[in-house]
Structure 1
Protein backbone atom coordinates (compact mmCIF):
# COMPACT_ATOMS: atom_id res chain seq x y z
CA UNK A 1 0.00 0.00 0.00
CA UNK A 2 1.41 3.39 -1.00
CA UNK A 3 1.96 5.62 2.03
CA UNK A 4 0.67 9.18 2.01
CA UNK A 5 4.12 10.79 1.90
CA UNK A 6 5.36 8.58 -0.96
CA UNK A 7 4.22 10.92 -3.73
CA UNK A 8 6.85 10.40 -6.45
CA UNK A 9 5.25 9.66 -9.79
CA UNK A 10 1.74 9.81 -8.36
CA UNK A 11 -0.97 11.51 -10.38
CA UNK A 12 -3.50 13.97 -9.01
CA UNK A 13 -1.37 15.98 -6.57
CA UNK A 14 -1.05 19.00 -8.85
CA UNK A 15 2.00 20.51 -10.54
CA UNK A 16 5.35 21.05 -8.86
CA UNK A 17 5.91 24.78 -8.64
CA UNK A 18 9.59 25.63 -7.98
CA UNK A 19 10.21 28.76 -5.95
CA UNK A 20 11.94 31.68 -7.72
CA UNK A 21 15.71 31.82 -7.36
CA UNK A 22 15.50 34.99 -5.27
CA UNK A 23 12.99 33.52 -2.81
CA UNK A 24 14.00 33.90 0.87
CA UNK A 25 15.34 30.83 2.66
CA UNK A 26 12.39 30.99 5.07
CA UNK A 27 9.08 32.31 3.76
CA UNK A 28 7.94 33.12 7.31
CA UNK A 29 9.81 33.77 10.55
CA UNK A 30 8.26 30.79 12.31
CA UNK A 31 9.72 28.45 9.67
CA UNK A 32 13.20 29.28 10.93
CA UNK A 33 12.10 28.70 14.52
CA UNK A 34 10.56 25.35 13.55
CA UNK A 35 13.85 24.24 12.05
CA UNK A 36 15.81 25.53 15.04
CA UNK A 37 13.69 23.79 17.67
CA UNK A 38 13.73 20.55 15.66
CA UNK A 39 17.55 20.58 15.53
CA UNK A 40 17.80 21.54 19.19
CA UNK A 41 15.44 18.74 20.24
CA UNK A 42 17.34 16.24 18.11
CA UNK A 43 20.54 17.16 19.96
CA UNK A 44 19.00 15.73 23.15
CA UNK A 45 19.80 12.28 21.77
CA UNK A 46 16.40 10.69 22.29
CA UNK A 47 15.92 9.66 18.65
CA UNK A 48 17.81 9.50 15.36
CA UNK A 49 17.23 10.95 11.90
CA UNK A 50 15.40 7.83 10.72
CA UNK A 51 13.04 7.97 13.70
CA UNK A 52 12.29 11.62 12.95
CA UNK A 53 11.59 10.88 9.28
CA UNK A 54 9.22 8.11 10.25
CA UNK A 55 7.45 10.46 12.67
CA UNK A 56 6.60 12.75 9.75
CA UNK A 57 5.43 9.80 7.67
CA UNK A 58 3.12 8.74 10.51
CA UNK A 59 1.13 11.96 10.54
CA UNK A 60 -2.50 11.30 9.71
CA UNK A 61 -3.18 11.37 5.94
CA UNK A 62 -5.60 14.26 6.34
CA UNK A 63 -3.02 16.33 8.25
CA UNK A 64 -0.15 15.37 5.97
CA UNK A 65 -2.11 16.49 2.91
CA UNK A 66 -3.06 19.89 4.33
CA UNK A 67 0.05 20.76 6.35
CA UNK A 68 2.80 22.89 4.90
CA UNK A 69 6.41 21.63 4.99
CA UNK A 70 7.30 23.10 8.38
CA UNK A 71 3.89 22.28 9.83
CA UNK A 72 4.78 18.65 9.17
CA UNK A 73 8.13 19.14 10.92
CA UNK A 74 6.74 20.78 14.04
CA UNK A 75 3.79 18.38 14.32
CA UNK A 76 6.03 15.32 14.06
CA UNK A 77 8.40 16.85 16.62
CA UNK A 78 5.53 17.30 19.07
CA UNK A 79 4.65 13.62 18.64
CA UNK A 80 8.26 12.56 19.22
CA UNK A 81 8.66 14.69 22.33
CA UNK A 82 5.60 13.09 23.92
CA UNK A 83 6.30 9.54 22.71
CA UNK A 84 9.82 9.57 24.10
CA UNK A 85 8.76 11.12 27.41
CA UNK A 86 10.77 14.30 26.93
CA UNK A 87 7.58 16.34 27.37
CA UNK A 88 3.98 15.73 28.28
CA UNK A 89 0.95 17.01 26.43
CA UNK A 90 0.42 19.39 29.36
CA UNK A 91 3.87 20.83 28.71
CA UNK A 92 3.02 21.50 25.08
CA UNK A 93 -0.12 23.29 26.23
CA UNK A 94 1.91 25.48 28.56
CA UNK A 95 0.48 23.78 31.64
CA UNK A 96 3.62 21.97 32.79
CA UNK A 97 5.68 22.59 35.91
CA UNK A 98 8.33 25.28 35.51
CA UNK A 99 11.41 23.45 36.76
CA UNK A 100 14.77 22.35 35.29
CA UNK A 101 14.42 19.50 32.82
CA UNK A 102 16.55 16.35 33.34
CA UNK A 103 17.88 16.68 29.78
CA UNK A 104 18.88 20.33 30.20
CA UNK A 105 22.64 19.48 30.37
CA UNK A 106 22.37 18.13 26.81
CA UNK A 107 21.09 21.40 25.37
CA UNK A 108 22.63 22.67 22.15
CA UNK A 109 24.22 26.07 22.94
CA UNK A 110 23.83 28.77 20.31
CA UNK A 111 27.58 29.11 19.88
CA UNK A 112 27.88 25.39 19.05
CA UNK A 113 25.23 25.26 16.32
CA UNK A 114 27.52 26.04 13.36
CA UNK A 115 30.10 23.48 14.52
CA UNK A 116 27.49 20.77 15.06
CA UNK A 117 25.84 21.36 11.69
CA UNK A 118 29.20 21.36 9.90
CA UNK A 119 30.10 18.07 11.54
CA UNK A 120 26.86 16.42 10.41
CA UNK A 121 25.90 12.89 11.33
CA UNK A 122 27.79 10.37 9.19
CA UNK A 123 25.90 7.09 8.77
CA UNK A 124 28.72 4.93 7.42
CA UNK A 125 29.49 1.97 9.70
CA UNK A 126 31.53 -1.23 9.44
CA UNK A 127 29.42 -4.27 8.54
CA UNK A 128 29.79 -8.03 8.38
CA UNK A 129 27.29 -8.28 5.53
CA UNK A 130 29.09 -9.45 2.36
CA UNK A 131 28.86 -7.15 -0.64
CA UNK A 132 26.53 -8.90 -3.09
CA UNK A 133 26.68 -6.64 -6.17
CA UNK A 134 29.36 -4.95 -8.22
CA UNK A 135 29.44 -1.78 -10.29
CA UNK A 136 27.75 -2.30 -13.65
CA UNK A 137 25.64 -5.25 -12.48
CA UNK A 138 21.94 -5.30 -13.35
CA UNK A 139 19.63 -5.48 -10.33
CA UNK A 140 15.94 -5.32 -9.55
CA UNK A 141 14.27 -3.66 -6.57
CA UNK A 142 11.91 -5.65 -4.40
CA UNK A 143 8.17 -5.33 -4.74
CA UNK A 144 6.35 -3.94 -2.80
CA UNK A 145 8.49 -1.15 -1.36
CA UNK A 146 7.86 -2.20 2.23
CA UNK A 147 9.87 -2.48 5.43
CA UNK A 148 10.63 -6.20 5.78
CA UNK A 149 11.36 -5.87 9.52
CA UNK A 150 8.38 -3.84 10.78
CA UNK A 151 4.97 -3.98 9.13
CA UNK A 152 4.12 -0.51 7.88
CA UNK A 153 7.53 0.72 9.00
CA UNK A 154 10.00 3.20 7.56
CA UNK A 155 11.91 2.44 4.36
CA UNK A 156 13.97 4.46 1.91
CA UNK A 157 12.82 2.53 -1.15
CA UNK A 158 10.25 4.80 -2.83
CA UNK A 159 7.07 3.22 -4.17
CA UNK A 160 7.79 4.37 -7.72
CA UNK A 161 11.03 2.37 -7.67
CA UNK A 162 9.51 -0.94 -6.57
CA UNK A 163 10.04 -3.80 -9.03
CA UNK A 164 12.21 -1.64 -11.32
CA UNK A 165 15.36 -2.85 -13.10
CA UNK A 166 18.52 -0.74 -13.06
CA UNK A 167 22.29 -1.00 -12.85
CA UNK A 168 24.73 -0.48 -10.02
CA UNK A 169 26.42 2.86 -10.67
CA UNK A 170 28.46 3.17 -7.47
CA UNK A 171 29.16 1.39 -4.21
CA UNK A 172 28.93 3.79 -1.24
CA UNK A 173 30.32 1.45 1.41
CA UNK A 174 28.26 0.15 4.34
CA UNK A 175 25.73 2.37 6.10
CA UNK A 176 23.09 2.29 8.82
CA UNK A 177 19.89 0.60 7.57
CA UNK A 178 16.99 3.06 8.08
CA UNK A 179 14.42 0.26 8.14
CA UNK A 180 16.00 -1.00 11.37
CA UNK A 181 17.31 2.23 12.87
CA UNK A 182 13.97 4.05 12.69
CA UNK A 183 12.38 1.46 14.98
CA UNK A 184 15.03 1.05 17.66
CA UNK A 185 16.18 -2.31 16.28
CA UNK A 186 19.82 -1.34 15.98
CA UNK A 187 21.84 0.17 13.17
CA UNK A 188 22.15 -3.09 11.16
CA UNK A 189 24.61 -1.57 8.66
CA UNK A 190 24.71 -3.09 5.20
CA UNK A 191 26.05 -2.22 1.72
CA UNK A 192 24.59 0.88 0.06
CA UNK A 193 24.60 1.47 -3.69
CA UNK A 194 23.76 4.21 -6.17
CA UNK A 195 21.48 2.53 -8.69
CA UNK A 196 20.64 4.10 -12.07
CA UNK A 197 17.19 3.48 -13.56
CA UNK A 198 16.01 4.49 -17.06
CA UNK A 199 13.11 6.94 -16.86
CA UNK A 200 11.12 4.52 -18.99
CA UNK A 201 11.52 1.88 -16.26
CA UNK A 202 9.96 4.11 -13.59
CA UNK A 203 7.35 6.27 -15.31
CA UNK A 204 4.39 5.24 -17.46
CA UNK A 205 4.88 8.12 -19.92
CA UNK A 206 8.29 9.77 -19.39
CA UNK A 207 8.87 13.06 -21.17
CA UNK A 208 12.48 12.06 -21.81
CA UNK A 209 12.68 8.23 -21.91
CA UNK A 210 16.50 8.21 -22.11
CA UNK A 211 16.91 10.14 -18.85
CA UNK A 212 18.09 8.27 -15.78
CA UNK A 213 17.01 8.50 -12.15
CA UNK A 214 19.63 7.57 -9.57
CA UNK A 215 18.51 6.18 -6.21
CA UNK A 216 20.70 5.33 -3.22
CA UNK A 217 19.46 1.89 -2.14
CA UNK A 218 20.46 -0.59 0.54
CA UNK A 219 21.41 -4.12 -0.41
CA UNK A 220 18.33 -5.69 1.19
CA UNK A 221 16.17 -3.67 -1.22
CA UNK A 222 17.77 -5.38 -4.23
CA UNK A 223 17.97 -8.73 -5.99
CA UNK A 224 19.86 -9.90 -9.08
CA UNK A 225 17.94 -9.21 -12.30
Structure 2
Protein backbone atom coordinates (compact mmCIF):
# COMPACT_ATOMS: atom_id res chain seq x y z
CA UNK A 1 0.00 0.00 0.00
CA UNK A 2 1.28 3.47 -0.85
CA UNK A 3 1.61 5.65 2.23
CA UNK A 4 3.09 9.05 2.94
CA UNK A 5 6.45 7.45 3.77
CA UNK A 6 6.80 6.04 0.21
CA UNK A 7 8.41 9.18 -1.22
CA UNK A 8 10.55 7.70 -4.00
CA UNK A 9 9.93 9.40 -7.34
CA UNK A 10 7.24 11.64 -5.89
CA UNK A 11 6.96 15.30 -6.89
CA UNK A 12 6.22 18.27 -4.66
CA UNK A 13 8.37 17.47 -1.62
CA UNK A 14 11.04 20.04 -2.42
CA UNK A 15 14.66 19.63 -3.50
CA UNK A 16 17.05 17.09 -2.04
CA UNK A 17 19.77 19.00 -0.20
CA UNK A 18 22.86 16.83 0.43
CA UNK A 19 24.76 17.55 3.61
CA UNK A 20 28.25 18.98 3.44
CA UNK A 21 31.05 16.41 3.39
CA UNK A 22 32.35 17.70 6.71
CA UNK A 23 28.93 17.67 8.39
CA UNK A 24 28.81 15.84 11.76
CA UNK A 25 27.36 12.35 11.84
CA UNK A 26 24.57 13.60 14.10
CA UNK A 27 23.33 17.17 13.79
CA UNK A 28 22.17 17.08 17.43
CA UNK A 29 23.26 14.94 20.37
CA UNK A 30 19.80 13.44 20.92
CA UNK A 31 19.91 11.88 17.43
CA UNK A 32 22.83 9.69 18.43
CA UNK A 33 20.93 8.67 21.54
CA UNK A 34 17.88 7.83 19.43
CA UNK A 35 20.01 5.48 17.34
CA UNK A 36 21.54 3.94 20.47
CA UNK A 37 18.17 3.34 22.14
CA UNK A 38 16.77 1.80 18.95
CA UNK A 39 19.75 -0.55 18.68
CA UNK A 40 19.52 -1.49 22.35
CA UNK A 41 15.78 -2.15 22.15
CA UNK A 42 16.25 -4.32 19.08
CA UNK A 43 18.69 -6.48 21.04
CA UNK A 44 15.86 -7.46 23.40
CA UNK A 45 14.72 -9.91 20.72
CA UNK A 46 11.06 -8.87 20.65
CA UNK A 47 10.91 -7.97 16.94
CA UNK A 48 12.86 -8.05 13.70
CA UNK A 49 14.04 -5.41 11.23
CA UNK A 50 10.94 -5.67 9.05
CA UNK A 51 8.69 -5.12 12.07
CA UNK A 52 10.55 -1.90 12.88
CA UNK A 53 10.22 -0.66 9.30
CA UNK A 54 6.49 -1.33 9.38
CA UNK A 55 6.20 0.54 12.69
CA UNK A 56 7.72 3.65 11.08
CA UNK A 57 5.39 3.34 8.12
CA UNK A 58 2.39 3.29 10.46
CA UNK A 59 3.09 6.67 12.03
CA UNK A 60 0.20 9.02 11.34
CA UNK A 61 0.64 10.97 8.08
CA UNK A 62 0.54 14.24 10.03
CA UNK A 63 3.44 13.14 12.22
CA UNK A 64 5.39 11.43 9.45
CA UNK A 65 5.61 14.54 7.26
CA UNK A 66 6.63 16.89 10.09
CA UNK A 67 9.04 14.60 11.91
CA UNK A 68 12.74 14.51 11.11
CA UNK A 69 14.46 11.20 10.34
CA UNK A 70 15.36 10.32 13.91
CA UNK A 71 12.07 11.65 15.28
CA UNK A 72 10.39 8.98 13.15
CA UNK A 73 12.75 6.37 14.56
CA UNK A 74 12.17 7.22 18.21
CA UNK A 75 8.41 7.72 17.80
CA UNK A 76 7.97 4.36 16.06
CA UNK A 77 10.10 2.72 18.74
CA UNK A 78 7.92 4.18 21.49
CA UNK A 79 4.84 2.70 19.77
CA UNK A 80 6.53 -0.66 19.24
CA UNK A 81 7.62 -1.03 22.87
CA UNK A 82 3.99 -0.70 23.96
CA UNK A 83 2.60 -2.90 21.18
CA UNK A 84 4.97 -5.74 22.14
CA UNK A 85 4.30 -5.37 25.86
CA UNK A 86 7.84 -4.34 26.77
CA UNK A 87 6.57 -1.08 28.30
CA UNK A 88 3.19 0.44 29.02
CA UNK A 89 1.92 3.93 28.37
CA UNK A 90 1.98 4.35 32.14
CA UNK A 91 5.72 3.66 32.12
CA UNK A 92 6.19 6.65 29.84
CA UNK A 93 4.32 8.96 32.19
CA UNK A 94 5.72 7.86 35.55
CA UNK A 95 9.13 6.45 34.61
CA UNK A 96 8.31 2.82 35.42
CA UNK A 97 9.23 1.00 38.61
CA UNK A 98 12.45 0.33 40.46
CA UNK A 99 11.99 -3.42 39.96
CA UNK A 100 14.23 -5.14 37.38
CA UNK A 101 12.51 -5.51 34.02
CA UNK A 102 11.84 -9.12 32.89
CA UNK A 103 14.10 -8.46 29.88
CA UNK A 104 16.91 -6.82 31.84
CA UNK A 105 19.21 -9.80 31.34
CA UNK A 106 19.15 -9.07 27.60
CA UNK A 107 20.30 -5.48 28.00
CA UNK A 108 22.92 -4.51 25.42
CA UNK A 109 26.19 -3.68 27.15
CA UNK A 110 28.43 -0.91 25.88
CA UNK A 111 31.29 -3.33 25.28
CA UNK A 112 29.07 -5.44 23.00
CA UNK A 113 27.90 -2.65 20.69
CA UNK A 114 30.77 -2.88 18.19
CA UNK A 115 30.26 -6.62 17.71
CA UNK A 116 26.51 -6.21 17.29
CA UNK A 117 26.97 -3.52 14.67
CA UNK A 118 29.61 -5.58 12.84
CA UNK A 119 27.35 -8.64 12.79
CA UNK A 120 24.41 -6.73 11.34
CA UNK A 121 21.24 -8.64 10.50
CA UNK A 122 21.96 -11.06 7.63
CA UNK A 123 18.81 -11.99 5.70
CA UNK A 124 20.21 -14.55 3.24
CA UNK A 125 18.85 -18.06 3.66
CA UNK A 126 19.18 -21.39 1.78
CA UNK A 127 17.52 -21.30 -1.65
CA UNK A 128 14.60 -23.73 -1.24
CA UNK A 129 12.12 -22.00 -3.58
CA UNK A 130 12.95 -22.45 -7.30
CA UNK A 131 14.10 -19.29 -9.04
CA UNK A 132 11.65 -18.40 -11.81
CA UNK A 133 13.85 -15.89 -13.61
CA UNK A 134 17.38 -15.66 -14.98
CA UNK A 135 19.77 -12.87 -15.92
CA UNK A 136 18.68 -10.95 -19.01
CA UNK A 137 15.01 -11.94 -18.74
CA UNK A 138 12.38 -9.20 -18.98
CA UNK A 139 9.84 -9.01 -16.16
CA UNK A 140 7.04 -6.76 -15.00
CA UNK A 141 6.40 -5.74 -11.39
CA UNK A 142 2.99 -6.45 -9.94
CA UNK A 143 0.32 -3.78 -9.79
CA UNK A 144 -0.85 -2.34 -7.49
CA UNK A 145 1.95 -2.04 -4.95
CA UNK A 146 0.53 -3.94 -1.98
CA UNK A 147 1.20 -6.69 0.50
CA UNK A 148 -0.62 -9.78 -0.84
CA UNK A 149 -0.54 -11.52 2.56
CA UNK A 150 -1.79 -8.78 4.91
CA UNK A 151 -4.22 -6.09 3.83
CA UNK A 152 -2.43 -2.77 4.13
CA UNK A 153 0.74 -4.50 5.29
CA UNK A 154 4.43 -3.86 4.77
CA UNK A 155 6.02 -4.27 1.35
CA UNK A 156 9.38 -3.36 -0.17
CA UNK A 157 8.10 -2.76 -3.71
CA UNK A 158 8.11 1.04 -4.15
CA UNK A 159 5.01 2.58 -5.67
CA UNK A 160 6.93 4.33 -8.46
CA UNK A 161 7.98 0.91 -9.83
CA UNK A 162 4.51 -0.63 -9.78
CA UNK A 163 3.64 -2.21 -13.13
CA UNK A 164 7.04 -1.32 -14.64
CA UNK A 165 8.96 -3.49 -17.08
CA UNK A 166 12.59 -4.25 -16.23
CA UNK A 167 15.46 -6.65 -16.87
CA UNK A 168 16.87 -9.21 -14.46
CA UNK A 169 20.51 -8.35 -13.74
CA UNK A 170 21.33 -11.08 -11.26
CA UNK A 171 19.97 -13.42 -8.61
CA UNK A 172 21.07 -12.59 -5.07
CA UNK A 173 20.03 -15.96 -3.67
CA UNK A 174 17.14 -16.38 -1.22
CA UNK A 175 16.39 -13.72 1.37
CA UNK A 176 13.82 -13.26 4.13
CA UNK A 177 10.55 -12.01 2.60
CA UNK A 178 9.66 -8.74 4.37
CA UNK A 179 5.95 -8.87 3.49
CA UNK A 180 5.71 -11.98 5.66
CA UNK A 181 8.40 -11.31 8.25
CA UNK A 182 6.97 -7.92 9.25
CA UNK A 183 3.71 -9.54 10.37
CA UNK A 184 4.80 -12.58 12.37
CA UNK A 185 4.10 -14.96 9.48
CA UNK A 186 7.60 -16.38 9.34
CA UNK A 187 10.66 -15.55 7.29
CA UNK A 188 9.34 -17.27 4.14
CA UNK A 189 12.62 -16.71 2.22
CA UNK A 190 12.37 -16.50 -1.54
CA UNK A 191 14.60 -15.52 -4.48
CA UNK A 192 15.73 -11.89 -4.54
CA UNK A 193 16.79 -10.27 -7.82
CA UNK A 194 18.56 -7.12 -8.94
CA UNK A 195 16.24 -5.68 -11.59
CA UNK A 196 17.20 -2.81 -13.90
CA UNK A 197 14.57 -0.32 -15.10
CA UNK A 198 15.02 2.39 -17.72
CA UNK A 199 14.38 5.84 -16.26
CA UNK A 200 11.83 6.39 -19.03
CA UNK A 201 9.94 3.32 -17.78
CA UNK A 202 9.57 4.74 -14.29
CA UNK A 203 8.93 8.42 -15.01
CA UNK A 204 7.05 10.20 -17.79
CA UNK A 205 9.66 12.94 -18.21
CA UNK A 206 12.99 11.69 -16.84
CA UNK A 207 15.79 14.23 -16.68
CA UNK A 208 18.22 11.62 -18.03
CA UNK A 209 16.25 9.13 -20.19
CA UNK A 210 19.24 6.82 -20.71
CA UNK A 211 19.76 6.28 -16.99
CA UNK A 212 18.82 3.00 -15.32
CA UNK A 213 17.54 2.38 -11.82
CA UNK A 214 18.42 -0.99 -10.26
CA UNK A 215 16.09 -2.28 -7.55
CA UNK A 216 16.42 -5.41 -5.41
CA UNK A 217 13.02 -7.12 -5.66
CA UNK A 218 11.63 -10.39 -4.34
CA UNK A 219 10.21 -12.99 -6.69
CA UNK A 220 6.65 -12.39 -5.50
CA UNK A 221 6.88 -8.83 -6.84
CA UNK A 222 7.64 -9.98 -10.40
CA UNK A 223 5.74 -11.47 -13.31
CA UNK A 224 7.15 -12.93 -16.56
CA UNK A 225 6.52 -11.19 -19.86
- Which residue of 2 is the match for residue 64 of structure 1? 64
Matched residues in 2 for 1:108 and 1:30: separation? 19
- Which residue of 2 is the match for residue 51 of structure 1? 51
Matched residues in 1 for 2:152 and 2:212: separation? 29
Question: Do structure 1's residue 110 and structure 2's residue 110 form an aligned pair?
Answer: yes
**Per the alignment, in what secondary structure is the counterpart of residue 140 of structure 1?**
strand
Give the gaps of 5 or more residues in structure 1. Answer: none
With a CA cutoff of 8 Å and minimum separation of 6, indicate the structure with the bigger relative contact order: 2
Residues 145-184 of structure 1: matches in 2 within 5 Å? 145-184=145-184
Q: Tell me the CA shift for residue 204 of structure 1.
A: 1.5
**Per the alignment, in what secondary structure is the counterpart of residue 93 of structure 1?**
helix
Matched residues in 1 for 2:162 and 2:94: separation? 45
TM-score for both structures, normalised by structure 2: 0.98
- Which residue of 2 is the match for residue 191 of structure 1? 191
Residues 1-225 of structure 1: matches in 2 within 5 Å? 2-225=2-225
Measured on the aligned residues, the alpha-carbon RMSD in Å equals 0.8
Q: Tell me the CA shift for residue 150 of structure 1.
A: 0.4
> Is the contact between residue 199 and residue 210 of structure 2 (CA under 8 Å) also seen in structure 1?
yes
TM-score for both structures, normalised by structure 1: 0.98
Give the gaps of 5 or more residues in structure 2. Answer: none
Q: Tell me the CA shift for residue 92 of structure 1.
A: 1.6
Matched residues in 2 for 1:185 and 1:51: separation? 11
Count of residues paired in the alignment:
225
Residue-by-residue CA offset, 1:4-55 (whole Å, 9 max, x unaligned): 1001111111111111111100000000000000000000000000000000
